[in-house]
Structure 1
Amino acid sequence: MSTDQRVKVAARTGKQFLEGLASQKREIWLDGEKITNPLEHEQLALAAKSMARIYDFQHEHASDLLASSPDDGSLVNATHIIPRSREDLIRRRKAIEMTAALSGGTMGRTPDYLNVTFACFAGRSDVWARRNNETGAANIVNYQKIMRDRDLSTTHALMNPQVDRSKPEAEQAMGEVSLHKVGETDDSIIVRGARMLATLATYADELTVYPGSDLRTVDKPYALSFALPVGTPGLKFVCRGTYAKTKDPFDYPLSHRFDEMDAMVIFDDVEVPKDRVFLDGDTVGYSEVITDTGWRGHIMHQAFTRAYVKLSFAFGLGHVIANATGVVKFDHIQEKLGQMWNMVELTRSAITAAEAGATPDEQGVWCPDDRPFLALRGEMPKWMPKANELLQLIGGGGFMLTPSRADVNGPLKEDIAKYFQAAGADAERRIRLFRLAWDFVGSELGGRGELYERFYLSDSWRMTSLAYKIANKDFATSLVEQFLKD
């Protein structure tokens, strides 16, 4: 497939993405400064360029990353497509993998994440329509088409702030902190409160809100799902400190490009148009749209494909470092590299198994077999930090011997060329390699990445416990029971 001008191309270019980012004024707060255009902020502008690269990339690899819209045949990003066959799932996974490879898997919330989510929701609009919510269901179908045809970059805020997790949402801080409905007009609902964790908010066109935790049946004001432009009056994004480095990318090859930013979203009596509301007060539906739409399997298909790329990147770093410094000859280093490869291969195998076991649901949407993903969901938060630890052990003190480009090209460049060389690399390559690896495991961005991997799919112990609870135990139990009879 090519982006032939005779075929309508809905997928945006990087230039169009940046123009869209600049055209919508938003209220971003970073280090006490109000920012309305991230492109005008020196540090925020860096990741915007990386996002633009993602949009350009889909045109450069159109045969893999673009697909025909089911409505009018225009070319859209393949991750927007509602999968109607196993081949659709495989194609979607390839598109996710290629996108993740641009950042080595370090950007966890590129647009494909929510593309997959809303394709899943729209494909099972019947679940959203329960209990007389046909209007909300129609709204989510329409919104998914808007996302697809405008090729939006979207962020999401699922969780309420951490005030007192021992209490229900409505009882934390007198019920005023968590996002909730406070009023209604003829054409909108009015919401107040806060939500987190809006990763990619500074580079998004729209903010989406959908269920992130269970609610009590009495907590109707908190049972909300909707979507809004990020420039909507009353929306405020309070960012953590930036980890983006404006120095030479030689010195910070990842931090210079890939800080996707995280933010708390404050809703200051925000008006949400009713045609953008998907759920309003249905506490039962608040749970069902997550459990009954197949969302879990679909989003883990995206998440673990991205994780596979990141683990592969970590393994690649370990392999190249070990060969550059000669330690690859040592069996204990080979064992560490073998552990990393095991993680990569088990992740790849789980993705393949999930696709092979995929089946269509009652609406004809093909869903990955989520059993391999449920097993990974408890292990991945452990594997990612373990991969970082193994990299540190493979690189050792070399991580502390990383002069900057200014040194490499400075008055001592001859000394640096002599004393920083490695068995399998000249000094510049060795320094580049170790700076890259340190940016991955030890910089502020690397530390944020490790924390992200620990918790973005909830914590490991809860997911491992859930895997046991929902596991089919019939065969395992039958093996035991056969020996407990006369």
Structure 2
Amino acid sequence: MTRSGQEYIESLRDGREVWIDGERVKDVTAHPAFRNTAASIAGLYDLAHDSAHSAELTHEGVHRAYLIPRSHQDLVARRTAYKVWAEASYGFLGRTPDYMAGGAAGFAAAPQLFTTDTFDGAANVLAYHRRLAQGDLYPAFTITNPQTDRTRSASEQEEDDLVVRVVAEKDGGIVVRGAKMIGTAAVFGNEVIVGTIEPLAPQDIDHALTFSLPIDTPGLKFISRTSYEAGARSVFDNPLSSRFDENDALLICEDVFVPWENVLTYRNVDAGFGMWWKTPAYVNFVHQAATRFWTKLEFLTGIAILITRANNTFDLPPVTQAIGRLMGKVAQAKAFVLAAEVCCEEVDGGRGGVMPGKDISYAQRIMAGELYPQALQEIRTLAGGGLIQLPASAQDLLHPEIGPLVAKYIRSPGHSAEERIKLLKLAWDALGSEFAGRHEQYERFYHGAPHVYLTQQAWEGDTDACVRLARHCLDGYSLGRAARA
């Protein structure tokens, strides 16, 4: 049975070590930097636990993201579940529990890849997947090395523990020390998986490990970035950042003990890299992210339409064309999701079920990173100066002296000042606030840097098919035919 939202909230009150603004947070569910977002995530759990959407979100008491799809229909069912949760946050909560749940299902679909000559993690991977699914846990991850000296490998940094590494082995497990960055939503998770998605050099053997631990494990520290939720004035003034700031945190391990049963890969550079790319884990990530991205574009385009109607410009030909471009972008985002499902591929000859088509999934990363800034620019142009000249807060509308002036001068035909300000504050939070800036940067690098995913597309795509078609044309004529033309 899936957890209720209240059960999820209670699970966060475990003494985890989270820091922000020089303060150790006693309870993330009560702290003004985190409490509203925690409540929003609890709302997702309630949707799965007991709502009209429970059947879409779960199957036999397990969230669909944890299930290993066996057919195209299973992929469609999983995407339907992704869409329900994405719509609940309008696409602004990216690393919800279903994201890493899909990754865990990807590991479990190909456990044999975790058996190596240095460590056999196959049983641990299956137990990891089972523990998360049966407990309906929120798995987070930190799999990016800190940006210290990018010209050196992990083992060649100025200090040997800047990147998480093994410092000792014991009978019951290992001791690790070091850091990982961009633990998105990690402070809201139940377990965190620590690993490296980027390739490591052969000499980085001490850093080549992957493990998962409860968030409250002694020695685990999470240092939060600025909280946009904490800076929000109210839901009226900051409707997105006040409720959907999933946060990003730096994870630091200070001589943390990891039991052997929690270790997935160990002292093996190829296994630590291949677990993401040679199992369905990464394309499962993209399946969830692409569904969320499609939903987010729907939401942003909806804002654009509402603004142009409020400004009485919707029917002007240039504006209608701009809306058409945005609707085209929505259709592109949707098409990538549906196409990846239709072009699904067997995993391990079908023994591991199916996964979305890899080449289309990888191509979605390119599209999303380039398209999102374009969509924002289009909507900003449609909104114009109205986004800038807004009252500081809802209090101006409520003030007995200032309120009537605001009502008189900040309105439009058929829209009261309150309605117009409410709409434009929503638009600003999505387009121009610090929260919005984080999202634009995040969408650009959601699946890695362009030099990584563009190169990977060239490697993974069917370049031979492209060359064959061009070669077939070249082979169809010769210099001799030119003389006869």
CA distance in 2, matches of 1:117, 1:364: 13
**Corresponding residue of 1:17:** 8
CA distance in 1, matches of 2:67, 2:470: 45
Q: After superposition, what is the alpha-carbon deviation per residue over 1:447-483, rounded to whole angstroms, capped at 9, x for unaligned?
A: 1111111112012343223212332123332333234
Asked if 1:36 corresponds to 2:26, the answer is yes
How many Å apart are 1:416 and its aligned residue? 2.5
Q: Which runs of 4+ in 1 moved over 6 A?
A: none
CA distance in 2, matches of 1:137, 1:476: 38
**Corresponding residue of 1:4:** none
CA distance in 2, matches of 1:55, 1:402: 35
**Corresponding residue of 2:71:** 85
- Contact conserved, 2:109 with 2:280, CA < 8 A, in 1? no
**Corresponding residue of 2:396:** 407
Q: After superposition, what is the alpha-carbon deviation per residue over 1:412-464, rounded to whole angstroms, capped at 9, x for unaligned?
A: 33332332222342221111110001001111111111111111201234322
Counting only pairs closer than 5 Å after superposition, residues 154-193 of structure 1 correspond to structure 2 as 154-193=139-178
**Corresponding residue of 2:435:** 445
**Corresponding residue of 2:363:** 375
Counting only pairs closer than 5 Å after superposition, residues 360-439 of structure 1 correspond to structure 2 as 360-361=346-347, 362=349, 363-403=351-391, 404-411=393-400, 412-439=402-429
> Matched residue pairs, number?
469
**Corresponding residue of 1:484:** 474
TM-score by length of 2: 0.93
Asked if 1:475 corresponds to 2:465, the answer is yes
Letter in 2 for 1:452: Y
How many Å apart are 1:149 and its aligned residue? 1.1
Q: Which among 304, 308, 315 is matched to residue 329 of structure 1? A: 315
Q: Which among 213, 235, 241 is matched to residue 228 of structure 1? A: 213
- Contact conserved, 1:90 with 1:355, CA < 8 A, in 2? yes
CA distance in 2, matches of 1:478, 1:307: 34
**Corresponding residue of 1:274:** 260
**Corresponding residue of 1:259:** 245
Counting only pairs closer than 5 Å after superposition, residues 447-462 of structure 1 correspond to structure 2 as 447-462=437-452
**Corresponding residue of 1:63:** 55
CA distance in 2, matches of 1:441, 1:246: 15
Helix, strand or coil at the partner of 2:146: coil
**Corresponding residue of 1:347:** 333
Q: Which among 280, 283, 291 is matched to residue 294 of structure 1? A: 280
CA distance in 1, matches of 2:214, 2:468: 54
Q: Which among 130, 149, 160 is matched to residue 145 of structure 1? A: 130
Unaligned runs of 5+ in 2: 479-485
Asked if 1:122 corresponds to 2:108, the answer is yes
- Contact conserved, 1:179 with 1:192, CA < 8 A, in 2? yes
Q: After superposition, what is the alpha-carbon deviation per residue over 1:330-367, rounded to whole angstroms, capped at 9, x for unaligned?
A: 22222322222122101111111111111322223111
TM-score by length of 1: 0.93
Letter in 2 for 1:408: L
CA distance in 2, matches of 1:20, 1:291: 31
CA distance in 1, matches of 2:330, 2:417: 30
- Contact conserved, 2:62 with 2:134, CA < 8 A, in 1? yes
- Contact conserved, 1:379 with 1:460, CA < 8 A, in 2? no
How many Å apart are 1:132 and its aligned residue? 6.2
Output the aligned Cα RMSD: 1.5
- Contact conserved, 1:117 with 1:298, CA < 8 A, in 2? yes
- Contact conserved, 1:336 with 1:390, CA < 8 A, in 2? yes
- Contact conserved, 2:155 with 2:203, CA < 8 A, in 1? no
Assess, with a 3 A threshold, how the Cα gap between structure 1 residues 176 and 132 changes in structure 2: closer, same or farther.
closer
Helix, strand or coil at the partner of 1:174: coil
Unaligned runs of 5+ in 1: 1-8, 69-74
**Which range moves more in the overlay, 161-170 or 328-337?**
328-337
**Which range moves more in the overlay, 366-375 or 461-470?**
461-470
How many Å apart are 1:107 and its aligned residue? 1.0
How many Å apart are 1:259 and its aligned residue? 0.9
CA distance in 2, matches of 1:129, 1:424: 66
**Which range moves more in the overlay, 364-373 or 263-272?**
364-373
CA distance in 1, matches of 2:232, 2:127: 40
Letter in 2 for 1:470: E
**Corresponding residue of 2:186:** 201
Helix, strand or coil at the partner of 1:268: strand
**Corresponding residue of 2:89:** 103
Q: After superposition, what is the alpha-carbon deviation per residue over 1:291-346, rounded to whole angstroms, capped at 9, x for unaligned?
A: 22122322111111111111111111111111111121222222322222122101
CA distance in 1, matches of 2:298, 2:266: 42
Helix, strand or coil at the partner of 1:279: strand
